[in-house]
A and B are shown apart, each in its own frame.
Chain A
Amino acid sequence: MDLPHQGYRASKQRGRTAPSTADSVLFDDTSSAAPAMNSQGYYTPGYNMAGPSNDMQGDAGVNNLFADPMANAAMMYGSSLANQGKDIVNKEIGRFMSVNKLKYFFAVDTRYVLKKLMILMFPYTHQDWEVRYHRDTPLTPRQDVNAPDLYIPTMAFITYILLAGMALGIQKRFSPEVLGLCASTALVWIIIEVLVLLLSLYLMTVHSDLSTFDLIAYSGYKYVGMIFTVLCGLLFGSDGYYVALAWSSCALMFFIVRSLKMKILPSLSSDTMGTGSSAKPQFRLYITMATAVFQPIIIYWLTSHLVR
């Protein structure tokens, strides 16, 4: 009578002491406790047949859950396979882009998101557009509201796709393929814009610290304007759409010009000795202006078919 209880308590004690030895990996608990439970589990069915009682049945039931060796082995194998897969994926991704750099762009908090959304919609009162640095590395978005992030563009992109589906559904033009088409169209336009920006920055030999992710972030901020425009178009009809289009275009153009001016143009001060520098500031200004002018065009292009 006492042996199953002892076995159950003994296995529980082993389960509790295991974490102190192997605290990082979760699965060490069951692997160290399982053999103990296994050996106890083999005893309990024997004692079940010997002396039936309610709590013995309960103990046997609980022990049988972990004592089934096949399920246990399968669980351990599956978890080790998942770990291996995760390591391989991390290594492969780490070859193409630095995951740490990507993590910098997602280090946001609620206060930053709210302030950034307000700046995107109403940038005229924002005074200080400098991206602050801390010993040569840019500050994370949590500490500096001017730093670009990738959280807002990602979320805005997904929201835009959902909103497009909803707008098409309201007009009874929805089908699942249209959603995929809308998503890939918007994605392709972002890729085109980022590639054109990279190409023009390379050709003009602008030595700025704008990385690819920065450009993706600045391109993705237009989705916030797009969402606002589509919402106003759905709520207030065609007039509301055009008013919201004008408002978000102006706000976005102002935002892009002020943000990129800080990054592209001041790198001029180091190489003023070149003879071609007289043409340089014009080209850099042209790049900034072209980027800004491109935003309302693409907003109109991607949203006009949603609001008829």
Chain B
Amino acid sequence: MAFTLYTLIQTAILCTNAIAVLHEERFLSKIGWGVEQGVGGFGDDPGVKAQILNLIRSVRTVMRVPLIIVNSGCIVLLLLFG
């Protein structure tokens, strides 16, 4: 399995897109992964589920605008250069 750096970039873009696409109220709340279920106990260690929900929410918040730019750039490049 030969990886080029371009493969890595492509993988990163696809994974980030996949996480950013998970919609909060249409999908995550329906399966019990909404933002209100994230803040569980107030102990010193949140559980794994809380960490995952935090991660999804932060990726969605932070990467929304850069992903728009990067995806548009990818589309233009793929249209031009195949």
Contacts and interface: CB of A to CB of B under 8 A. Distances in A.
Interface of A: 181, 184-185, 187-189, 191, 202-205, 271, 274-277, 280, 283, 301
The A interface is mostly helix, strand or loop, or mixed, namely: helix
A184 B3 contact: yes
Q: Is the interface of B mostly helix, strand, loop or mixed?
A: loop
Contacts of B41: 275
7 A-B pairs with least C-beta separation: A188-B3, A185-B3, A203-B51, A188-B8, A205-B45, A181-B2, A274-B43
B52 interface: yes
A274 B45 contact: yes
Contact of A271 (B2, B7, B8, B44): B44
Contacts of A187: 5
A276 B2 contact: no
Contacts of B2: 181, 185
Nearest to A301: B1
6 contacts: A181-B2, A185-B2, A191-B8, A202-B55, A203-B51, A274-B45
A203 B45 contact: no
B4 to A, nearest CB: 5
B12 to A, nearest CB: 9
B73 interface: no
B42 to A, nearest CB: 11
Nearest to B44: A271
A277 B47 CA distance: 10
Contacts of A181: 2, 4
Interface string B26-59: 0000000000000001011111100110010000
